[in-house]
A and B are shown apart, each in its own frame.
Chain A
Amino acid sequence: MSISTESPSGERIASIEDRLAAIESVLEDRAMQPAAFVETFNHWATEEWIPENGARVVAKAWCEPDFRERLLADGITAIRELGLTMPAHHRHLVALENTETVHNVICCTLCSCTAFTVIGLPPDWYKDLEYRARVVRESRSVLREMGLELAPHIEIRVWDTTADTRYMVLPERPPGTEGWSQEQLTAMVTKEGMIGVAKV
Chain B
Amino acid sequence: MNGMHDLGGKEGFGPIRYAPNAPVFHAPWEVRANALYSLAVKQGVYNMDEYRYAIERMEPRHYLSASYYERSLTSLASLCVEKGLVSRDELERRAGGVFPLARPTVAGRTNQPERQRFEAGDLVRVRSDHVSGHVRMPGYIRGKTGRIISESPPYPFPDAHAHGVDAQTEPTYDVQFDSLELWPDAAEPAKVHVAVFQSYLERAPRS
Contact = CB atoms under 8 A, between A and B. Distances in A.
Interface of A: 3-4, 7, 11-27, 29-30, 32, 34, 37-38, 40-42, 45, 89, 91-92, 94, 109-112, 120-125, 127-134, 136-142, 145-147, 155-165, 190-192, 197-198
Given A13-B97, A132-B7, A198-B20, A157 B191 contact: yes
A141 to B, nearest CB: 6
Interface of B is mostly: mixed
Contacts of B38: 41
B18 to A, nearest CB: 5
Interface of B: 5-11, 13-25, 29, 31-36, 38-40, 43, 48, 52, 55, 61-62, 64-65, 68, 70, 73, 76-77, 80, 85-86, 91-92, 94-100, 136-138, 140, 152-153, 155, 158, 172, 174, 176, 179, 182-183, 186-197
Indicate the member of A38, A157, A161, A191 with the most B CB atoms within 10 Å.
A38
A155 B180 CA distance: 13
Nearest to A120: B24
B36 A109 contact: no
B68 A125 contact: no
Nearest 6 Cβ contacts at the A-B interface: A109-B8, A14-B97, A41-B35, A14-B95, A22-B94, A163-B195
A94 B153 CA distance: 12
Given A137-B187, A159-B193, A165-B152, A25 B10 contact: no
